[in-house]
Amino acid sequence: MKKAFIFLFMVALVCSCDNSANEEVRIVEEARKTLNDYFTDIKKEGLSAEFRYLDSSADFYWIPPGYNYLANYDSISAAIKRNATKCKKVDNSWKNVSVSYLSPRHVLYTGTILSLVTNLSNKTDTLELIETGIMIKRDDGWKLLSGHTSILK
């Protein structure tokens, strides 16, 4: 009887670990899809599509390219609105991206981005960026909570 109990306990433990690992994989894939959808929506709708992906809580901060300090949601929102009128098209794509599970509500991502920005005069600038951030799961989906974007070249 004791051996049967130990066997059942071990089976339950293994199953529990498998479920936990599967949940982590699902969370990472869900966040990765959000990062890809983020770029797809910006390409289709312009920079104003970013607002659906930013966490508007007081916990939000970002360090954009060229900034030496943390910018809060209001500052980033104003910058997006200002730049949206200057861009005809923005086409961002991940050259590579790594997403890591932190908790059921948080993931860390790091990647390099190829960004093609076309201004109103049809001049396209090509930028290579590196970005690291934390995403948080909210009731309406994954949101960018904090991070840093820098220009590589």
As its CATH architecture, domain 2-151 has Roll (3.10)
Confidence of residue 8 (pLDDT cuts 50, 70, 90): very low
Each residue's pLDDT tens digit, 87-135: 999 999 999 999 999 999 999 999 999 999 999 999 999 999 999 999 9
Those residues whose C-beta lies under 8 Å from the C-beta of residue 97, and which sit 6 or more positions away, are 32, 35, 109, 110, 111, 112
Domain definitions of the chain by residue range: 2-151
Phi, psi of 85 (to 5 degrees): -80, -10
The mean of the pLDDT values for the chain is 90
126 to each of 63, 104, 110, how far by Cα in Å? 20, 36, 20
Q: What pLDDT score does 52 carry?
A: 96
Those residues whose C-beta lies under 8 Å from the C-beta of residue 33, and which sit 6 or more positions away, are none
